[in-house]
Amino acid sequence: MQENILEVSNLKTYFDVPRGTVKAVDGISLTLKPGETIGVVGESGCGKSVLGLSILNLITPPGRIKSGSVHFKGKNLFSCSEAELSHIRGKEMAMIFQEPLRSLNPVRTVGDQIAEVLQIHEGMSKTEALQKAVQLLKQVEVTDPGRRVHNYPHEFSGGMRQRAMIAMGLACNPQVLLADEPTAGLDVTIQAQILDLMKRLKESAEMAMLLITHDLAIVSQMCSRVLVMYAGQVVEQGSVREVLHHPKHPYTRALLDAIPGAAKDRNRLGVLKGISPDPADLPQGCHFHTRCPNVTEKCRIEEPTEVVDGETVVKCWARAEKGAITV
């Protein structure tokens, strides 16, 4: 068996806000093998981005890592020095953020920003780094990269900014890429092009990827395994084949039913009923019980344990009581 490159164990990330404590990530464990792509899905606010930022130890107040660990190649990132961390970030483990405009500096050229990563992590001279930046822009299929490298982010279209972010993320050939909605907000054709590009780059470089998205179609196109998050927790995880075709958790089923095409075929409701719970005031018992069609008395009182059911791990009392194996 191949060793895990990334191991997240019982991770909890909380935000202390005036109205209470937001449990954005509340006990998540996952593993990633070299070259593997895992999808992370769930509704807005369920904690996907906070999970990505926590893995890179980038949480700042009012947020805090409450407990748990993140091991990258056997090294616990929560006990690394700032110097070790900045070496790992960007070089060995890169993140493509949800909003490129927020992470690209508006007053510096795209080329300078890509070059900076290479100067810091690869010790290149400015001239060498700029040459490499042109190559990278070419690799992510930005047309006329020799001219574009001197542009500012606002001179790029949304799709091109996203490509520039991918170029920056890939500059140092990271072994793990955390991609947070890398194609959100782009039109469908450009989205397909960028995903295809990421897939090809990933395969040629054997890079592992954690792909955060709310789009299940992207998961089935890109990932081998998927984690379904609800209110800071993983409610179901397993192979894409199993989870998307034989969902075991009622929340996963509801998510699948919310896809218009699937809903039409199966003649079910297209919208997820009810609202997500307030993460600063989560319901007792199973976090999903307020919206679950199969809720029982026990679900309202006691948090479900995770159970192995075939190839899937599910956090649901209905499954636990069917005699599946408790983790």
Ligand X SMILES: Nc1ncnc2c1ncn2[C@@H]1O[C@H](COP(=O)(O)OP(=O)(O)OP(=O)(O)O)[C@@H](O)[C@H]1O
User: Which residue ranges make up the site for Ni ion (CB under 5 A)?
Assistant: 48-49
The answer to whether residues 11 and 66 touch, using CB atoms and an 8 Å cutoff, is: no
H helices then E strands: how many in the chain?
Answer: 14, 13
Judged by beta carbon, residue 234 or residue 286, the one nearer Ni ion is 234
Cβ-closest position to Ni ion: 49
Candidates 39-47, 102-110, 219-227, 250-258 — which segment interacts with ligand X by CB under 6 A?
A: 39-47
For the segment 55-84, give every residue that binds ligand X (CB under 6 A): 62-63
Q: What whole-number distance in Å separates Cα of residue 73 and Cα of residue 204? A: 21
Told to check if 49 binds ligand X by CB under 6 A, we report: yes
Judged by beta carbon, residue 48 or residue 225, the one nearer Ni ion is 48
Instruction: Work out how close the CB of 47 gets to ligand X at its nearest, in angstroms, rounded to a whole number.
Output: 4
Told to check if 304 binds ligand X by CB under 6 A, we report: no
Instruction: Work out how close the CB of 195 gets to ligand X at its nearest, in angstroms, rounded to a whole number.
Output: 18
CA distances from 95 to 170, 207, 241 (A): 9, 13, 26
Judged by beta carbon, residue 43 or residue 92, the one nearer ligand X is 43
The answer to whether residues 207 and 169 touch, using CB atoms and an 8 Å cutoff, is: no
Told to check if 12 binds ligand X by CB under 6 A, we report: no
Which of 163, 200, 208, 168 is CA-nearest to residue 182? 163
From the list Ni ion, ligand X, none, pick the one residue 45 interacts with, judged by a Cβ distance below 5 to 8 Å according to partner type: ligand X
Instruction: Mention every residue, 6+ apart, whose C-beta is less than 8 A from residue 263.
Output: 257, 269, 270
Told to check if 48 binds ligand X by CB under 6 A, we report: yes
